Amino acid sequence: MKKPAVIGKNVRKLDALEKAMGTATFTTDISLPGMLYGKVLRSPYPHAKIINIDTGKAEKLPGVEAVVCYKNTPRVKFNTSATSTFTIPPLEPVEDQYIFDSVVRYVGDEVAAVAAVSEKIAEQALKLIEVEYEELPAVFDPLEAMEPGAPDLHGPCRAGKNIPGEKIHLELGDIEKGFAEADEIFEHTFKLPVQKQAQMETQAAVAQVTADGRVTVWSTTQTPHPSRRIIATIFGLPYSKVRVLNPPYIGGGFGVRIGLSAKAEPIAVALAMQAKKPVKVVYSRREDFIASDTRHSGYVTVKTGVKKDGTFTARQMEGILNAGAYCSWSAETPGVLGAMGLSVYRCPNQMYDGHSVYTNTTPAGAMRGFGNPQAMFAIESQIDIIAEKLGIDPLEIRLKNIMQPGDKWVLPYPCRSSGLAECIKKGAAAINWQRRGKFDKTGTKRRGLGVGIGTHVSNAWPFCGDYSNAYVTIQQDGSAHLAAGVPDMGTGTVTTLAQITAEVLGISYEKIGVTFADTESTPFEIGSHASRTCYASGMAVVAAARDAKKQILDYAAEMLEVEAGDLDIENDTVVSTSNPEIKAPLSEVAVQAHLKGRQFIGVGKIIPENAPPWLAHFAEVEVDTETGQVKILKMVAAHDVGKAIHPQIVEGQLHGGLAQGIGYALGEEIKYNDKGRQLNDGFHKYMLPTAVDIPELKAIIVEAEEPSHPYGVKGVGETGLVATAPAIANAIYNAIGVRFFELPITAEKVYRALKE
Amino acid sequence: MKKPAVIGKNVRKLDALEKAMGTATFTTDISLPGMLYGKVLRSPYPHAKIINIDTGKAEKLPGVEAVVCYKNTPRVKFNTSATSTFTIPPLEPVEDQYIFDSVVRYVGDEVAAVAAVSEKIAEQALKLIEVEYEELPAVFDPLEAMEPGAPDLHGPCRAGKNIPGEKIHLELGDIEKGFAEADEIFEHTFKLPVQKQAQMETQAAVAQVTADGRVTVWSTTQTPHPSRRIIATIFGLPYSKVRVLNPPYIGGGFGVRIGLSAKAEPIAVALAMQAKKPVKVVYSRREDFIASDTRHSGYVTVKTGVKKDGTFTARQMEGILNAGAYCSWSAETPGVLGAMGLSVYRCPNQMYDGHSVYTNTTPAGAMRGFGNPQAMFAIESQIDIIAEKLGIDPLEIRLKNIMQPGDKWVLPYPCRSSGLAECIKKGAAAINWQRRGKFDKTGTKRRGLGVGIGTHVSNAWPFCGDYSNAYVTIQQDGSAHLAAGVPDMGTGTVTTLAQITAEVLGISYEKIGVTFADTESTPFEIGSHASRTCYASGMAVVAAARDAKKQILDYAAEMLEVEAGDLDIENDTVVSTSNPEIKAPLSEVAVQAHLKGRQFIGVGKIIPENAPPWLAHFAEVEVDTETGQVKILKMVAAHDVGKAIHPQIVEGQLHGGLAQGIGYALGEEIKYNDKGRQLNDGFHKYMLPTAVDIPELKAIIVEAEEPSHPYGVKGVGETGLVATAPAIANAIYNAIGVRFFELPITAEKVYRALKE
């Protein structure tokens, strides 16, 4: 293989200057002539029937141009998540929401919306909408919601009362036999909190509807094509008459807009259709908290059978997640929880059962890790318990049991490569693991070291429909243009895909233009989710660029009178590989082709495979035994990313994941009061780790190249927080000898535990 | 061939509702956050050197954010027309302009430009720019500009002083021999006026430059890709970093923006780069008149040798056109004049020589017909002179001599079909030709009938680079999306291409979405010019749709377990042609394919051929011998369009061409005073025909299907005015016995002629 010219290098990110200079365009920056501002009236009750709604006064307020509620919007059920596009039979997507319904199911549920000439007038108008509610009994805990007496939120469900979608069951080997063979059996239940994506930009959309009904929506979606499908379905339009695009930037995602941006898109469209003017809907931060998907809270139980030598004979897991009021990704997340939880360690007998449960809380959906962090907090905490009980070093028990390429597992695709052992070894060296057990135990500040490992995915195939397409076209000056439908949430996707395009084509990175995240400018693309963009979208880009390159070389062969197979492109020059004297600048080839009416248009269509990335996280903590405060001194994340196309971007992803994982471990949680109201609905109440909370972070890139990807890439977007919380929990245990079975491990909990 | 489902039908135009309701977006409607307004300072002199320019006071005016002139803009020469993209070696494009130069060459030439927060401030700032000029001698007539003592406008030119580009020479047979064989020889010189396109929307552009230098330009261009090339070249950017698009509508074109929209684009970009904010430049109507291309004025001489029986033995033509101050299309237009003039009648010995000449007037460029109306006024006037002299009916001499498929001619592609005879016969019937010569000649109002015939092109290949590409993608609901780079200037292009897409695919017209006129959303496309869109862009669309269809049928064959060759698509359903029981809705096929990650992405790449459309125009006039006023009572235009995809659109094109031809014949003319100032620089001074001037128009569609196009289409965009003026001139002669050798035939000229 040729020495790479562009990949593996920290080229300047395509969005760097615009973002640094504050000139990048986000949905909130979109301004269209005559544009109105939409605001949403939300339910103050966790569960209620709307007896009457009177929008008359609001409609009469000067400056108000549209008022919509369940009475004048389509009665078409949908799911705000992209599941309608993703789900593959025999599974069926759960579509359980209207834009507005006559029943509200959580505090924040949409009741009505107004479009007016200013935000202020729209907000005034909301106050003029008169709603008469009949309160209904509410339930907030998933275990309670499964009780016979619990309120029924959605009527008959396929898998049981209040259960969205199907119950997930995974099985490998003979679980009974496995437990029978064990020397010891461990069983623990872990409780997980509601984490919020806390992405910088709140949910937002601008909708424009032409006189003949064509719809354009600029939005913060991570998945323009699947979002288009939802919007087209709701409003009964051919997909080809709906355009969804990013503007092009979005301020973070972390999964919160895989599908619609909460309901910003359909509300904006409904208002625009009624007002016959463009409408912008931008959620406030409070709305983003209360009415936009969160991570799933819930319960994970792990039962492990183990031999005295540390060999696992059986592992059984159960996951019960709180779906909140509507399904969103709640049918899928329990599956990922189980699949990922069971795929880190070799174990011949495994079983998983899991599902979500509707409650009257904010819907839970996709968030970075998608069930995996929940699983790994449980698994990795228990591994340490087992190791201690058996008197084995935590690293040793892990290295002994980790999955190896070729091992049988529950996943429907093979593991072809693993750098996990290398991750564990390099991470241990970086954290100076041999200090473990040797810290001073006399003072009030106790140090500890902990580890957590894991895996994840590089896209969602074959769990669900997940594929990409791309166009690569060569311009007449020898520059190239890539059109790929995938958004860039700030993850550097577009930079990475441009690097790949440049690498395949032999064209300078500076000459690659990119169009992205637009259903009309790009071929179908499932979108940005499941850590898939560099892996799966990247494969489509490679295929498109190769297609274009072949066309160039075929033409150049005619022009230079040589065999096409003898030609390659390097440094923007077509050269003969056998005789370097034979060459032509690509710009010359391109312009000559133009003069003959020949064009180089590459199409990449791929059905990706999947590949597990691997990761080992290490934490060094210092617990103040007088206050319970946990200070993280250092974190190391060693990740097998297959191949780092842009190492700085990879490190950035790992740093970000570590920070988000630290918040998950130590502080972030949305709680509800007994009226179903969020107690932490803003950044002054929901405590994200800030710069002072983040320790030295060390990202170690391990490159066990993945054979299923042309450049050996694996997913990296989510891995950074998969095992952060258990590494910290294990370090805390190592410091103070207290085991926590619930996140977040707040100072208060540590303090109370130390008192007990 | 199957009975067409969509083509040939008057479906609702895709832009109909938006335009009828006033909600269609044009360049002037673009509004971007922070956008500035650009205004241009123009030369008051026809030829002068700028001794000094001081922009200091203008720069200091509050609200002014950029001032540009020749001192701070790229010194890169270009041509505002698309010739840099179109020209094929051995010809070379003439690039003779800067954005701003230190020499101005016509009244209206660009001297400087200002961007400010309001149009008013920008205009105030223009007045603060101090320019010291040194006047240079000027010349306004092309014949004078070739004299030895004439001022030299551009320094050494390849083909002689003041001659842009090459001299054109066409030859067939032996011209000397042809004249020697003639019984009679006729020679006449005709003088043509400056006509203005008078398109509804003036030249306009909005430019946005990102922090890292990527450029987006919304503009009124008819050719986004070629315009992108000019902009990228001027500013030294890879083509892939420049996006040019229509917004998407443009208010007419008629050729005036084949290439840049005058200089609106580079001026807007230069200002935006300096101001670091978006800038909108919209020409006033006066600016559009004085600083935007016109039709070429000039002189056409025709010398014809003819046998007594009316057989042509030789035809020699000469065309001398006024280029104005810069080349624009002046290197190409004389060629079309000669090529079209010599291609209507069979004649074994032909010769043409022609070229343009620089003068100090507004540049002349492309306008509907592109030299052909000039040629045909001369040719068709002379044919009537010859016919009268030989005592042959004007129809008879034409029918005897018209070109037939297979005849030798000067054009580099064959004539494969002709409905011209049918056009002449049907047109004659519609105008009731047998009345000719029988009108009452006693009163003051004299009636007459006249005819003029002609041909044109269906695109510009192989005269210049002229080809198209398209994408057709099938959506997951069985709708389809077409991405074609061609603009729709109001000509219905997009509707027609959507019909073609629907026809090929067997999908409902209502389910076809279209993206167009955007260099980033569509593959390379030369643009909208040369009557080519339905023919050449249409071929690319057919190819793309067929490619997509093949992919659908291959997949459907797997799904239905039949042979792909046995399947077709009708009414949105895939059906077996041998067993109609075997079928599946296309929506079902599409969604099943989606679930397997299969996509239907069609790419159409074509190198079009060319085909002559044919036309016969008939005019009935009434001349008031007391006032000289010519009233047109009726016009008939019978056109062989090959196949009318949307008959109403075709009729609309013919009606519009007739109206523009009537203006050309009777009233439209820009004149200059002796200081080089236009005397007719607005709609109150430049007299377009209005509704009261337009008579009953009858468009007759003749369909001699063209074998080189999959649906038999020929070009129709320009044909409507090719032979309008000579038909009217011949009718006037028929009415009053006076022959006019100069257009327009104003009432004053008729009155004076009748007095003589």
CB-facing half-sphere around the CA of B368: CA atoms within 13 A: 29
How far is the alpha carbon of A279 from chain B, nearest alpha carbon, in Å? 15
pLDDT for residue B1: 58
pLDDT score of B522 more than 80: yes
Q: What angle do CA B517, B521, B524 make, to 5 degrees?
A: 70
Nearest to A595 among B17, B88, B469 (CB): B88
Strands across the sheet with A567-570, in order? A567-570, A573-576, A583-585
Name every chain A residue with its beta carbon within 8 A of the beta carbon of B480: 240
How far is the alpha carbon of B466 from chain A, nearest alpha carbon, in Å? 7
pLDDT for residue A578: 94
Chain A touched by B512 (CB under 8 Å): yes
Name every chain B residue with its beta carbon within 8 A of the beta carbon of A14: 212
Chain A interface test: which of B218, B231, B599, B606 (most A C-beta within 10 Å): B599
pLDDT for residue B545: 98
Cα–Cα separations (whole angstroms), residue A313 to A318, A400, A420, B710: 17, 13, 21, 69
CATH no. for B467-606? 3.30.365.10
User: Residues 490-509, chain A: which have Cβ within 8 Å of B?
Assistant: none
Q: What is the mean pLDDT of residues B638-653?
A: 98
Q: Which two tokens stand for residue A423?
A: 């991750």
- Per DSSP, which regions of B266-325 are E strands? 279-282, 298-306, 312-324
User: What residue spans define the domains of chain A?
Assistant: 31-136+200-252+257-291, 298-461+610-755, 467-606
How far is the alpha carbon of A280 from chain B, nearest alpha carbon, in Å? 15
The predicted-structure confidence for A253-297, as pLDDT tens digits, reads as follows 999 999 999 999 999 999 999 999 999 999 999 999 999 999 999
pLDDT for residue B465: 86
Chain B touched by A236 (CB under 8 Å): no
Q: What is the mean pLDDT of residues B311-328?
A: 98
Task: Report whether B615 contacts B722 (CB < 8 A).
Answer: yes
pLDDT for residue A463: 87
Closest CA to B506 of B450, B556, B540: B556
Q: Would you call A701 exposed, middle or buried from its count of C-beta atoms within 10 A (0-12, 13-18, 19+)?
A: buried
Q: What angle do CA A527, A532, A536 make, to 5 degrees?
A: 90
CB-facing half-sphere around the CA of A265: CA atoms within 13 A: 35
Q: Which two tokens stand for residue B590?
A: 């599409």
The predicted-structure confidence for B326-373, as pLDDT tens digits, reads as follows 999 999 999 999 999 999 999 999 999 999 999 999 999 999 999 999
**Bridging pattern class, strands B103-104 and B48-54:** antiparallel
Question: For the ranges A25-34, B175-184, B280-289, which has the lowest average pLDDT?
Answer: A25-34
The predicted-structure confidence for A578-630, as pLDDT tens digits, reads as follows 999 999 999 999 999 999 999 999 999 998 899 999 999 999 999 999 999 99
CB-based contacts of A624, cutoff 8 Å, min separation 6 = A444, A445, A630, A631
Chain B interface test: which of A495, A518, A599 (most B C-beta within 10 Å): A599
pLDDT score of B244 more than 70: yes
Identical fold, B31-136+200-252+257-291 and B298-461+610-755: no
DSSP letter for each residue of A430-444:
HHTGGGTT-S--SSS
Tell me how far apart the terminal alpha carbons of chain A are, to the nearest angstrom.
Answer: 62
Q: What is the mean pLDDT of residues B217-221?
A: 98
The predicted-structure confidence for B383-397, as pLDDT tens digits, reads as follows 999 999 999 999 999
**Mean of all residue pLDDT scores within chain A:** 97
In chain B, the residue whose alpha carbon lies closest to the alpha carbon of A609 is: B597
Strands across the sheet with B601-606, in order? B512-516, B480-484, B468-474, B601-606
**Candidates 3.40.50.720, 3.40.710.10, 3.30.365.10, 3.20.20.70; correct CATH number of B298-461+610-755?**
3.30.365.10
pLDDT tier, A250 (very low <50, low <70, confident <90, very high otherwise): very high
User: Residues 15-44, chain A: which have Cβ within 8 Å of B?
Assistant: 16-18, 20-21, 23, 29, 31-33
Nearest to B601 among A23, A89, A523 (CB): A523
The amino acid at A215: V
pLDDT for residue A1: 58
Q: Alpha-carbon distance A314 to A304, whole Å?
A: 6
Q: Would you call A746 exposed, middle or buried from its count of C-beta atoms within 10 A (0-12, 13-18, 19+)?
A: buried
Chain A touched by B510 (CB under 8 Å): yes
Q: Which two tokens stand for residue B16?
A: 């109909």
Chain A touched by B51 (CB under 8 Å): no
Chain B touched by A53 (CB under 8 Å): no
How far is the alpha carbon of A18 from chain B, nearest alpha carbon, in Å? 5
The predicted-structure confidence for A216-246, as pLDDT tens digits, reads as follows 999 999 999 999 999 999 999 999 999 999 9
CA of residue A434 relative to chain centroid, distance: 35
CB-facing half-sphere around the CA of A98: CA atoms within 13 A: 17
**CB spacing of A229 vs B14 below 8 angstroms:** no
pLDDT for residue A464: 87
**Candidates 3.90.1150.10, 3.90.1170.50, 3.40.50.10580, 3.90.550.60; correct CATH number of A31-136+200-252+257-291?**
3.90.1170.50
The predicted-structure confidence for B446-492, as pLDDT tens digits, reads as follows 999 999 999 999 999 988 888 999 999 999 999 999 999 999 999 99
Q: What percentage of chain B exceeds 70 in pLDDT? A: 100
**Mean of all residue pLDDT scores within chain B:** 97
pLDDT for residue A465: 86
Task: Report whether A450 contacts A618 (CB < 8 A).
Answer: yes
pLDDT for residue A435: 97
pLDDT score of B294 more than 90: yes
pLDDT score of A689 more than 80: yes
pLDDT for residue A419: 98
**Bridging pattern class, strands A614-624 and A445-455:** antiparallel
Q: Which two tokens stand for residue B676?
A: 């080089």
pLDDT score of A390 more than 90: yes
Q: What angle do CA A333, A339, A345 make, to 5 degrees?
A: 145
User: Residues 616-675, chain B: which have Cβ within 8 Å of A?
Assistant: none
User: From the DSSP assignment, how many helices (H) and strands (E) are in chain B?
Assistant: 19, 26
Q: What is the mean pLDDT of residues A19-30?
A: 94
Strand partners, B112: B41, B69
pLDDT for residue A607: 87
Chain B touched by A599 (CB under 8 Å): yes
How far is the alpha carbon of B36 from chain A, nearest alpha carbon, in Å? 15
pLDDT tier, B608 (very low <50, low <70, confident <90, very high otherwise): confident
pLDDT for residue B607: 87
